């Protein structure tokens, strides 16, 4: 999928949404989502979905409302080196 010039908030929310879809399709019913984006986690957990323009956020909220246990965990950006390397590779930076 081409993400073009989307902002990082939208890209991270898209990745989270796709991860939820994949986990559901694989039959997982307990999921822990890790993100270094505290704002994204806060928006989803605290019901700020309705006021958000990002359609992915609303879809994440819908997916979390399914019959399964979804937990969110904030991780420090420095601890997220693997994701950073994958992102750089996708942009052709390695």
Residue 46 lies in a domain: yes
Domain that holds residue 51: 30-90
Determine the pLDDT at residue 10: 83
Tell me if residue 24 falls in helix, strand or coil. helix
Residue 49 lies in a domain: yes
Determine the pLDDT at residue 25: 96
Q: Which contiguous run of DSSP H or E holds residue 16?
A: helix 8-25
Q: Please tell me the distance from the alpha carbon of residue 76 to that of residue 48, in angstroms, as a whole number.
A: 22
pTM of the model: 0.72
Nearest C-alpha neighbor of 57 from the set 13, 7, 8: 13
Residue 38 lies in a domain: yes
Q: How many domains does the chain have?
A: 1
Residue 16 lies in a domain: no
Q: Please tell me the distance from the alpha carbon of residue 24 to that of residue 31, in angstroms, as a whole number.
A: 9
Residue 44 lies in a domain: yes
Residue 83 lies in a domain: yes
Per-residue model confidence as pLDDT tens digits over 49-75: 665 567 888 899 889 989 999 999 998
Residue 72 lies in a domain: yes
């Amino acid at each position: 999928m081409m993400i073009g010039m989307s902002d990082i908030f939208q890209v991270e929310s898209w990745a989270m949404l796709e991860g939820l879809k994949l986990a559901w399709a694989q039959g997982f019913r307990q999921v822990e989502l890790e993100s270094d984006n505290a704002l994204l986690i806060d928006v989803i957990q605290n019901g700020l979905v309705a006021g958000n323009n990002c359609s992915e956020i609303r879809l994440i909220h819908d997916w979390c409302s399914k019959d399964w246990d979804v937990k969110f965990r904030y991780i420090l950006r420095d601890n997220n080196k693997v994701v950073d390397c994958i992102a750089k590779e996708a942009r052709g930076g390695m």
